[in-house]
Chain A
Amino acid sequence: MTDIFGLLKGKPGEPDYEKKGVIVQGITGSYGSLHAANMLSYGTNLVAGVTPGKGGQTWNDSVPIYNTMQEAVDATNAKISIIFVPAKFFLGAAKEALEAGIKLLVAIPEHVPVRDTMETLELANKKGAVIIGPNTPGIMIPELIKVGIMPPMPFKAGKIAVLSKSGTLLYEISDALTNAGFGQSITIGIGGDPINGTRLIDAFEMVKDIPDLEGMVVVGEIGGDSEEILAQRIIDSGFNKPTVAYIAGRAAPKEKRMGHAGAIVMGNYGSAESKISMFNKANIPVAKRPAEVPVLLAGKMEKSD
């Protein structure tokens, strides 16, 4: 099982406790550069950037740039990397990171071919590394570390874990949670692709034993069956923290891809009804609107008191 807090935060006493080093692949591109700056101002410890051909330069007068991941990892000993390269270069960048010893790889690009994701995963499994994404906003422990592209405003430190396939819905729902007084212990963007480096059940395994966890919010959408599998796992594991779900795409037509590569209903497979009925079976209420999520969560908490 992945100790995601160990990776993102570390253990008290470690020299880099609460300041784990992060490498940005594609730091000099406009997108990579923008979000590197945002991560830096959020407090993430950016230790290196990688752009082939720009090694030896410094980004933003503070972060050293290397030509290769191996050089960057050798120089910094970082275990976390975030990728901002165009989709067609993703596989090369991801392999380079994993070969260099990266243990947590956050894959931001959208439109990565499924085959490239599967090859990356195969290598990650061999190397004992975790992939978040692709097509994800990233992962964060609010007010401590952000490895992703989320805006800071919606999030606040707290005790609710939020797992989401969608980026903007993660912001929207975290915002609603924060306003209702529910801070977040961690938020994990699963990504909107058909194949996810970290699936909803994997993310659930990462968060379910957080000692002071007070609840969990699952933001799903049509396509695939990862919500159904998660609901079954929650039933089987006896997980009893208050949990609320939201599923986007009830009104979407069948057999049409709704923006995300993975958001498509084939027959009944991947339908919102199927997911909602499995969550109901697991006694997890499903909100009809994002704004309803904190209301349902508060209701669940009252019952469990």
Chain B
Amino acid sequence: MQLLEFQAKELFREYGINLLKSISSTDIKEGRKHAKELGYPFVIKIQVPVGGRGKAGGIQKCQNDDEFELKYPQVMDLIIKGEKARAILLEKMADIKKELYLSIFLNRSKRCYTIIASAEGGVEIESVKNQIIKEVGLGEVSDELAKEVAKEMELEGNTAEQFVDTLKKLSKLTIEKEAELVEINPLAIMQDDSIMALDGKFVTDDNSNFRHPELQKYQEKTEIEEQAEKSGFSLVELDGDIAVVGNGAGLVMSTLDMLSDNGGKPACFLDVGGGATTESVYEALTLISKLDRVKGILVNLYGGIVKTTVVAEAFLKAYEDNLIDLPVFARLKGTESVKAKEMLQDSRTNIFDSVEEAINAAVMGVKK
């Protein structure tokens, strides 16, 4: 999961990384109180789990009450890359001398953690110039290496010392919380040569969640996503009207691609896992029945070890229980598929031999 800025900063604070004073709120009433406490000038920052919020107007300077009353609701109402504001962070205005870039991330191709640092930060990583890149194995950063990075960035004196300190703390945070990415951009040099993290990005390795109960309070899930997780499914909600269900992430992605190619709009990505059972498919149909926008269900199952009759049973049970009244377009491949087709012959499930046929029928079906 990707933490919001103020959540990442909570972790930074815990690890002793220097921060400006900031307070988060979720409505303007609360915000007014914080404004008083903080004192002008400050910056109003939208809290969304995606990048590019500055460009979208999600970060606004604020000098007085009038500006606050105008800008707070404006920022709160923004939708950035489809994401609504989760909170608003008010942060003291900084007197910056220079902006640096610093991150530690999981380098997938080199299969190790890697530091990227630059003396020219404050822009998106793709545009950061003169990147200093150091591979650091499982994330450990020695005093020596941190000093070397500071030197290559041409930092000096107190600033260099503080940078070394920040980098080592960031390394400790990365290792202890099992992050995939921790980024400070910008890391600012202030007029007094001290160093402050002005922004924070933090992406966890979700597979290590079981070792980090302390991070669970940051988990943000819809009710349906939570149920999906309980059932061992992967579910991503999308904004179309055809629910896509299958077994195996690759196969479901592939189905999503083909559906989109044919003019269909997926309502969700639902992977019931490599295997499929009567229970898991029934559970998947239950979840989908709770998504209001869905007008049809597209099922693509490659039953390898699984018998397709087992899947057919799930459909029949779902109809019997009046779980779904939507049309279902299914392609079931695997053992006993002839028998599965017979079982579903007079039901609401339309069975097809190829996924292409199922997709075409689904696209036509939801238009009706």
CB within 8 Å of B: which residues of A? Answer: 34, 38, 87-88, 111-115, 118-119, 121-122, 137, 149-151, 153-154, 164-172, 175, 192, 194-196, 199, 219, 221-226, 229, 246, 248-263, 267-268, 288-291
CA distance A221 to B258 in the complex (A): 14
Shortest B191–chain A CB gap in Å is 32
> Are B304 and A113 in touch, CB under 8 angstroms?
no
A112 touches B109 (CB 8 A): no
Judged by a CB distance under 8 angstroms, whether B247 is at the interface is yes
Contact of A113 among B205, B248, B252, B354 (CB under 8 A): B205
Closest chain A residue, CB of each to CB of B359? A289
CA distance A257 to B334 in the complex (A): 28
Please, how many angstroms separate the alpha-carbon atoms of A111 and B246 in the complex?
Answer: 19
Give the interface SS of chain B, mostly helix, strand, loop or mixed. Answer: mixed
A114: which of B180, B246, B257, B335 is its contact (CB, 8 Å)? Answer: B180
Are A171 and B304 CB-contacts (below 8 A) given A137-B274, A166-B248, A225-B108? yes
Contact in complex: A252, B269 (CB < 8 Å)? yes
13 A-B residue pairs with Cβ-Cβ distance under 8 Å, sorted by A, are A118-B112, A167-B248, A248-B257, A251-B259, A252-B256, A255-B2, A255-B50, A256-B236, A258-B253, A259-B236, A263-B253, A267-B124, A267-B125
Contact A119 B138 (CB under 8 A): yes
B16 nearest CB across to chain A (Å): 23
B192 contact set on A, CB distance < 8 A: none
Tell whether, in the assembled complex, residue A219 and residue B207 are in contact, meaning their CB atoms are under 8 Å apart. Answer: no
CB distance from A150 to the nearest CB of B (A): 7
**Min CB gap A254→B, angstroms:** 8
From A193, which residue of chain B is reached at the shortest CB distance?
Answer: B207
Nearest-neighbor residue (CB-CB) of A109 within chain B: B207
The 5 residue pairs across chains A and B that have the minimum distance between CB atoms: A166-B250, A259-B249, A168-B248, A151-B304, A113-B208
B65 at the interface (CB under 8 A from A): no
Of the candidates B126, B249, B269, which one forms a contact with A166 in the assembled complex, judged by CB atoms under 8 Å apart? Answer: B249
* Structural contact, B138 and A121, CB atoms closer than 8 A: no
Nearest CB on A from B331, distance (A)? 11
- Identify which of A118, A223, A291 contacts B138 (C-beta below 8 A): A118
Determine the chain B residues whose CB is within 8 A of the CB of A222 once the complex forms: 253
B205 & A263 in contact (Cβ 8 Å cutoff): no
- A260 B109 Cβ-Cβ under 8 A: no
* Inter-chain contacts of A288 with B (CB < 8 A): 257-258, 261
Is the Cβ of B108 less than 8 Å from the Cβ of A258?
no
B180 and A168 contacting across the interface, CB-CB below 8 Å: no
Interface size class of B (residues with CB under 8 A): 35 or more
Give the residue name and chain of the A residue nearest to B212 (CB).
A113
Most buried by A among B111, B247, B252: B111
Chain A residues within an 8 Å CB radius of B49: 255
Question: A192 contacts B250, CB within 8 Å?
Answer: yes
A167-B109 contact, Cβ under 8 Å, with A251-B259, A259-B269: no
Q: A149–B256 contact, CB under 8 A?
A: no
Please indicate the chain A residues that have their CB under 8 angstroms from the CB of B248 in the complex: 166-169, 259
Tell whether A153 pairs with B250 under 8 Å between CB atoms, given A114-B106, A251-B257, A252-B269. Answer: no
CA distance A248 to B250 in the complex (A): 6
Inside 8 A of A219's CB, which chain B residues have their CB? 250
Q: B205 to A248, Cβ gap below 8 A?
A: no
Provide the bound-state CA to CA distance between A172 and B274, in Å: 13
Q: Mark B80-120, 1 if CB is under 8 A from A, else 0.
A: 01000000000000000000000000101101100000000
- Whether A167 lies near B356 (C-beta < 8 A) is no
For window 269-319 of B, CB contacts with A under 8 Å fall at 269, 271, 274, 302, 304-305
CB-CB under 8 A from B111, the residues of chain A are 118, 121, 195-196, 199
Q: Is B178 an interface residue (CB 8 A)?
A: yes
**Complex Cα–Cα for A199 and B109 (A):** 8
Flag whether B74 is at the interface (Cβ < 8 A).
Answer: no
Known contacts A169-B248, A291-B356; is-contact A248 B138 (Cβ 8 Å): no
Taking the complex as formed, is B206 at the interface, i.e. its CB lies under 8 A from any CB of chain A? yes
Query: Once the chains bind, are B126 and A151 in contact (CB under 8 Å)?
Result: no
Selected contact of A168 from candidates B106, B246, B354, CB within 8 Å: B246
The residue from A112, A259, A267 contacting B253, defined by CB atoms under 8 A apart:
A259
Is B251 interfacial (CB 8 A cutoff)? Answer: yes
B221 at the interface (CB under 8 A from A): no
What residues of A have a CB within 8 angstroms of the CB of B260 in the complex? 250-251
Cβ–Cβ contact A249 & B253, under 8 A: yes
Does B234 make an interface contact (CB < 8 A)? Answer: yes
B33 close to chain A: CB less than 8 A: no
Does B64 lie at the interface of the complex (its beta carbon under 8 Å from any beta carbon of A)?
Answer: no
| Least Cβ–Cβ distance between A241 and chain B, in angstroms | 24
**B259 to chain A: which residues have CB within 8 Å?**
251
Interface contact A224-B108, CB-CB below 8 Å: yes
Cα A153 to Cα B236 in complex, Å, equals 31
Beyond A114-B106, A246-B254, A250-B257, list 12 extra A-B contacts (CB 8 Å): A115-B205, A164-B250, A175-B302, A226-B108, A248-B257, A251-B256, A253-B238, A257-B234, A259-B248, A260-B250, A288-B257, A288-B261
Complex contact A88–B210 (CB within 8 A)? yes
B177-205, CB < 8 A from A: 178, 180, 205
Within 8 Å of chain A (Cβ to Cβ): is B368? no
CA–CA, A229 and B109, complex, Å: 8
Q: B230 near A: Cβ within 8 Å?
A: no
Q: Is the Cβ of A153 less than 8 Å from the Cβ of B269?
A: no
Q: Which of B108, B126, B205, B304 contacts A153 (CB 8 A)?
A: B304
